[in-house]
């Protein structure tokens, strides 16, 4: 009889503990979902991508290759949250930046404005084709007449290798 009472008591404690663990797991999952919900999806970081893309041109045009590469590097990094919030779209971006955009980065490292301008303008067409393909054909990238951020000196002479790793 004593063993039966101990067994029933042990089972009761285990069940109560399990319910507590399940409740704690639900709370953790709820917190994860709330954090994930607070992260920017794609539209907000894409705005930063657009601004950095525009700034990149004016940096390269003025021989500020470090700034041009800095804009490229952090343009790419702006979409990191999408790895969690929009993983399928992020894979499209990652392939675009790694493969298609590589020619722009090469021109930056080569300090070759003629090649940069050619690749940059081709990139605008690629961006618009991607927007179209993803159902956002109403978003058309253009080359602006002035940088998106006027608070930067675009004329500082530098090279891409000046950007810290």
pTM for this one? 0.80
- Give per-residue pLDDT as tens, 68-106: 999 999 999 999 989 988 999 999 999 999 999 999 999
Whole-angstrom Cα distance, residue 7 to residue 1?
10
In this structure, the answer to whether residues 18 and 97 fall within a common structural domain is no
- Give per-residue pLDDT as tens, 12-40: 565 655 665 556 667 888 888 888 888 88
Domain total of the chain: 2
In this structure, the answer to whether residues 62 and 31 fall within a common structural domain is no
In this structure, the answer to whether residues 27 and 70 fall within a common structural domain is no
In this structure, the answer to whether residues 117 and 102 fall within a common structural domain is yes
Domain assignment of residue 137, given as a range: 43-162
**Which bin fits 111, alpha (ψ -120 to 50), beta or left (φ > 0)?**
left
In this structure, the answer to whether residues 90 and 158 fall within a common structural domain is yes
In terms of Cα–Cα distance, which of 102, 48, 125, 105 is closest to 80?
48
In this structure, the answer to whether residues 86 and 152 fall within a common structural domain is yes
What sections of 39-112 are H helices per DSSP?
43-61, 65-77, 82-85, 87-95, 102-110
């Amino acid at each position: 009889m004593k063993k039966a009472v101990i067994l029933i008591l042990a089972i009761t404690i285990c069940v109560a503990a399990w319910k507590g663990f399940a409740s704690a797991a639900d709370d953790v999952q709820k917190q994860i979902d709330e954090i994930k919900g607070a992260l920017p999806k794609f539209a907000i970081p894409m705005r930063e991508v657009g601004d950095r893309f525009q700034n990149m041109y004016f940096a390269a045009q003025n021989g500020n290759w470090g700034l041009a590469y800095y804009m490229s590097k952090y343009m790419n990094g702006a979409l990191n949250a999408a790895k969690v919030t929009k993983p399928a779209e992020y894979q499209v971006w990652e392939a675009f930046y790694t493969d298609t955009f590589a020619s722009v980065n090469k021109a930056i490292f080569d300090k070759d404005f003629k090649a940069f301008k050619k690749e940059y303008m081709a990139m605008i067409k690629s961006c618009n084709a991607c927007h179209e393909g993803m159902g956002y054909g109403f978003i058309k990238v253009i080359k602006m007449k002035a940088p998106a951020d006027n608070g930067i000196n675009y004329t500082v002479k530098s090279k891409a290798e000046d950007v810290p790793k």
